[in-house]
Amino acid sequence: MTMRGDCMPVTFLTGTAETQKEELIKKLLKDGNVEYIRIHPEDPDKIDFIRSLLRTKTIFSNKTIIDIVNFDEWKAQEQKRLVELLKNVPEDVHIFIRSQKTGGKGVALELPKPWETDKWLEWIEKRFRENGLLIDKDALQLFFSKVGTNDLIIEREIEKLKAYSEDKKITVEDVEEVVFTYQTPGYDDFCFAVSEGKRKIAHSLLSQLWKTTEPVVIATVLANHFLDLFKILVLVTKKRYYTWPDVSRVSKELGIPVPRVARFLGFSFKTWKFKVINHLLYYDVKKVRKILRDLYDLDRVVKSEEDPKPFFHEFIEEVALDVYSLQRDEE
C-alpha cells in the first residue's frame, strides 16, 4: 500500500526479501542531506515519537526517512494507531514499513519458496554477480547446501567470500574454507534422515517442520527426494565407493545439486560433520518405485485426513527402519 501526505509517500515493503528492502532504502540515503531513523518493534513510546517527529517538521528541516522494521511484530492496536498517523505525513518525510505479509498493495519483494532449489541457485548466483564475483556451478551448489534460504545469511557469507577472494572467482575450495555451515534443520536434513535410516532424527525433524510447514509441502519434498534417488539408481552403476569426478558427472547429467548427489552416493565433504551412506548399497529401482507409490498414497491422505501427521510417522518408520536394519546386519 502506498499512501500520500502532501507529496512524499508512505510505502509498504512486503515479502520475504529483506536484503532487497535494505538496498532499496540505501539508494535513497545516498543523498547526504537525508536524516535516517529506524524504528523497531521493541522501541518504547514509538508511536508518540513518530507523532512528535511528524508534527515538528518544518520547511527548513532535512528530508527524513523513517524505516519501520518488523511491522508484523507490532501489537494490533499499535498498528492501527500508526495507520491513523499516516494520514498526515509532511512532504519531506518518507516512511517505509517492512512486512513479511503479501497480497496487499505496495512494493512486493519476494524470495523463491524454500523448496524451489533451482530458483534459489539462480537468485544466489545473481547476488554473486551483483557483488562482482563469479562462482562455478559446483561451488554454488555447495554454498547453498551450507547457508540455506536465509537471504541475510547469504549476503553475509557472500561478503566474506568477496573479502577473501583475490581474483573474484569463487571455487569449491573457497566455499569449504570460508563459508560457515548453518545447522538449521531443513528439507534436505529431514529427507536424508529418512533415506539414511536415522529414525529418531527423522521423527524429530518432522515434528519441527510440522510447526511451520504445510503437510502437502512435506509430502512433496519427500517425493522429490526419492525421485532424485530413483534417477540416480537408473543412471549410475552400483559400486561401494564413488569419487569426486563421479559426483560432478552425475550432477551435471541429471541436474541434481552436487551436495545432494554426493550424499546419495556416500561421498562426504571434509566440512560435513555427519555420517553419510552410499544409498545405492541399500536401495534398488524396485524398492524406490514402491516408496514413490507409497508417497502418492500419502499425498492423497494429506488432502483427505484432518490430521495426517501419524501417517508421516508411519512412512518414516517403514522406510528408515528397513535401511537401519540392513546397516545393522552389516555390523
Grid cell of 38 as nine digits: 529506524
pLDDT of residue 1: 43
Rounded Cα–Cα distance for residues 88 and 95 (Å):
12
Options 3.40.1400.10, 1.20.272.10, 3.30.70.100, 1.10.10.10; CATH for 187-330 is 1.20.272.10
| CATH for 2-108, options being 3.40.50.1980, 3.40.50.300, 3.30.2270.10, 3.40.190.10 | 3.40.50.300
Q: What is the pLDDT of residue 331?
A: 47
- According to DSSP, residue 10 is labeled E
What does the domain layout of the chain look like in residue ranges? 2-108, 117-178, 187-330
Question: What is the structure's pLDDT at 76?
Answer: 87
Cell 563469479 belongs to 134
Residue type at 60?
F
pLDDT by residue (tens digit) across 144-188? 877 888 888 899 999 999 998 888 899 888 888 888 877 555 788
User: CA-to-CA distance for 50 and 104, rounded, in angstroms?
Assistant: 24
Determine the residue type at 176.
E
Grid cell for residue 290: 514402491
Mean pLDDT of all residues belonging to the chain:
84
pLDDT in tens, 14-59: 888 888 888 888 887 876 678 888 888 888 888 888 888 888 765 5
Q: Residue 13 is placed in which grid cell? A: 515493503
Q: End-to-end distance of the chain based on CA atoms, in angstroms?
A: 63
> In the CATH scheme, what is the code of domain 117-178?
1.10.8.60
pTM of the model: 0.53
Go through 280-298 and write b for each residue having 16 or more CB atoms within 10 A of its CB, e for each that does not.
bebbeeebbeebeebbeeb
For 259-281, the pLDDT digits (tens) are 889 999 999 887 777 788 999 99
